[in-house]
Amino acid sequence: MRTKIKNAWILTMNGNMDEYPCGEIVFDEKQILYVGEKSEIQAEVEIDAKGGIVLPGMVNTHSHASMIPFRSLQDDCPDRLRRFLIPLENGAMNEELAVLSFKYAVVEMLMSGITCFADMYYYVDKLAQACDEMGIRAILGETVYYEPTCDAKEAYGGLELGKKYMDSWGKHPLVTLTLAPHATNTNEGTIFQKAMEIVKEHNTILMTHAAEMDYEMKYFKETYKLSPIEWLDSLGCLNDHTLLAHCILANEKDLVLIQEKNAGVSHCISSNMKAGKGIAPLKEMVAKGIPVGLGTDGPSSGNTLELFSSMRLVAQSQKTKHHDRALFPAKEIVKLATIEGARSLRLDKQIGSLEVGKQADLICVSVDAPNMFPMYDAYSALVYSACSHDVKDVFVAGKHLVKDFQPIVNRKKIREELSTSMNDFRRIAKEIEKSL
């Protein structure tokens, strides 16, 4: 099925940053066939964007999509992860809840213009099936953790489980399974090394939380006289198969290492600032050419699974941190949310920009809402004015997954099923809240 979108302000995000203020794009389920001012190619479906902005689908480089049930719970609780989230997850998460939550989250992401995401959670074989059914692109990492988890009775059980899933899942046009050792301070070095070996064999990426927590930094300094990034490097686990989430507390030496070893970073500014953790050295990362994408983090941490508010916050936080309003112009930030995100996931050959031959992962942002007028600069409008509810149409691999603001799946049904399956979760959450 071939689709043509007309009358669009197209931001290609290609190497030249070409844009077509009144352009056309033609694509099918295999690839993009045309991007430019006007195409002679015929298409079965024609869509009038009515001046809306067409850009590559956004790439969410870090999430825990199945954590939907945790949203708006104890948002302002100190040391929330250890005191509240992990006990609740251990007590109340199960396969059914993880899968239903995941489907809900996929709907939310698609409706917000995210067409590809990198996720760390449990039961990833089942989550992969959900992606396959729903048509979204994803890299799903089975979490490896030093204690028993909701899907592994043994410490570090995720390692074997994840490997098994990776072997059985194999190659898929949209979905890649991989391993995600939870964090530098919640895994032994040997576990990281085993995980990296498996990841390399499967040519995927290893995802982990790094340089995120004060107590993590303290632990590594006291135990190894190293930063967590240096520690990962000492294990041979910092390379172009590594994706580091957060890196809030990475110092200059760490950044040089990340750059030299060509690791990627996921910058989760909404989550990091809400938790009061700090503002990662994004300016320095980008200056070094480190592949950096944006991440929403889980819905319990960043709350919304969309990157519009993150783009705006990147501008606000970096300009303020460096006292320079010219820093990170809007165009640079849209790059982070698209092509740079794809690069950090090593998917930039397939997605992240609108170019002939690439996959047709793309979105159309409506300019109908009051906040989207006037528009002199589409990048500025996306970063400073747009919100996720302005996303009108979403395509992944040429398939029309969100049509006129609504997903093609029955989102009401997904929500009802999830809500029903949350009954135990709600009860256990209340019990843990009492003990806070």
Print the binding letters for residues 368-397 with its own copies: x by CB under 8 A, - otherwise: -xxx-xxxxx--xx-xxx-xxxx-------
Residue nearer to its own copies on the CB measure, 53 or 120: 53
Rounded CA-CA distance 401/398 in Å is 9
Q: Please list the residues that pair with 148 across neighbouring strands.
A: none
User: Is residue 335 helix, strand or coil?
Assistant: helix
- Closest C-alpha among 309, 420, 394, 421 to residue 106: 394
SS3 content of the chain, % helix, strand, coil (to 5): 40, 20, 35
Size of the site for its own copies (CB under 8 A): 66
Which of 239, 262, 316, 421 touches its own copies (CB under 8 A)? 316
DSSP string, 76-106: T-TTHIIIIIHHHHHHH--HHHHHHHHHHHH
Q: Quick check: 330 binds its own copies (CB under 8 A)?
A: yes
For its own copies, the closer CB: 315 or 345: 315
Between CA 174 and CA 341, with CA 170 as vertex, the angle to 5 degrees is 35
Separation CA 398–CA 9 (nearest Å): 19
Task: Provide CB contacts within 8 A for 231, sequence distance 6+.
Answer: 184, 189, 220, 224
Decide if residue 69 touches its own copies (CB under 8 A): yes
Asked if residue 406 binds its own copies (CB under 8 A), the reply is no
Minimum distance from residue 19 beta carbon to its own copies (Å): 14
Does 237 sit near its own copies (CB under 8 A)?
A: no
Among 88, 249, 275, 290, binds its own copies (CB under 8 A): 275
Nearer to its own copies, 8 or 383 (CB): 383
From the CB of 14, what's the least distance to its own copies, in Å?
21
Chain-centroid distance of CA 40 in Å reads 36
Sign of CA dihedral 239, 242, 248, 249: negative
73 binds its own copies (CB under 8 A): yes
Nearest CA to 163 among 99, 101, 206, 110? 206
Question: How far apart are alpha carbons 54 and 19 in whole angstroms?
Answer: 10
If 0-12 CB within 10 Å is exposed, 13-18 middle and 19+ buried, where does residue 201 land?
exposed
The residues with which 139 forms a beta bridge, in sequence order, are 118, 176
**Is residue 434 near its own copies by the rule CB under 8 A?**
no
The residue written with tokens 């690069």 in the block is 343
> Which one of residues 4, 6, 80, 246 is an interface residue with its own copies (CB under 8 A)?
80
Between 2 and 415, name the residue whose CB sits nearer to its own copies: 415
Q: Segment near its own copies (CB under 8 A), from 59-67, 239-247, 260-268, 305-313?
A: 305-313
Task: Please identify which residue in 274, 283, 399, 400 interacts with its own copies, judged by CB under 8 A.
Answer: 274
DSSP 433: H
Matching residue, tokens 């200056």: 287
Q: Which region among 132-140, 164-172, 282-290, 298-306 touches its own copies (by CB under 8 A)?
A: 298-306
**∠48-294-181 over CA atoms, to 5°?**
130
Amino acid at 360: A
Assess 270 for contact with its own copies (CB under 8 A).
Answer: yes
CB of 397 to its own copies, least distance (A): 22
Query: By C-beta, is 42 or 72 nearer to its own copies?
Result: 72
87 in contact with its own copies (CB under 8 A): no
- For its own copies, the closer of residues 155 and 387 by Cβ is 387
Measured distance CA(117)–CA(243) in Å, rounded: 13
When binding is defined by CB under 8 A, the residue of 319, 355, 400, 428 that contacts its own copies is 319
Least CB distance from residue 239 to its own copies, whole Å?
31
Any contact of residue 417 with its own copies (CB under 8 A)?
no
CB of 407 to its own copies, least distance (A): 9
Q: Which stretch binds its own copies (CB under 8 A): 26-34, 70-78, 155-163, 236-244?
A: 70-78
Candidate ranges 38-46, 75-83, 84-92, 259-267; the one touching its own copies (CB under 8 A): 75-83
Q: How far is CA 98 from CA 65, 84, 127, 398, 416, in A?
A: 9, 18, 8, 28, 15
Q: Which residues bind its own copies (CB under 8 A)?
A: 68-69, 71-73, 75-78, 80, 104, 107-108, 111, 270, 272-279, 303-306, 309, 312-313, 315-317, 319-320, 322-330, 369-371, 373-377, 380-381, 383-385, 387-390, 411, 415, 419, 422, 429
